[in-house]
Amino acid sequence: MAVVTQFVVVREGVEKMTFTSKKEADAFDKMLDIADNLIPFLLESPLALDEAQCEQLAFYMAKQKDALTGLLKGASPVVASSKPLAVKKPAKKVSDKES
């Protein structure tokens, strides 16, 4: 018989996710904490967002916390789905006078 250790994240009596490592469970729990803190902040914004939209946005921001932290510190945005633009150098003109 095999023994399997599982870590369960429970919020308000509801099982949210099950993980096989404590590190993953702690990271998910922290993401949920961040999202829970962002929801009231977003609801108070002047944007016309309903509660479901605020919740979705809060979870997105919590999942992207590292990129968001960098942006708030003034770092350049990095978009995972786009590639850096290649800068094309102008072609060299061939001189009329070749020796």
pLDDT for the residue 30: 92
pLDDT for the residue 80: 60
φ/ψ of residue 10, rounded to 5: -120, 130
pLDDT at 19 over 70: yes
8 A C-beta contact, residue 53 and residue 38: no
pLDDT at 11 over 90: no
Express each pLDDT in 20-78 by its tens digit: 889 999 999 999 999 999 999 998 888 888 889 999 999 999 999 988 888 888 877 76
Residue 65 to residue 26: CA distance in whole angstroms: 15
3-state helix, strand, coil in the chain (%, to 5): 45, 10, 45
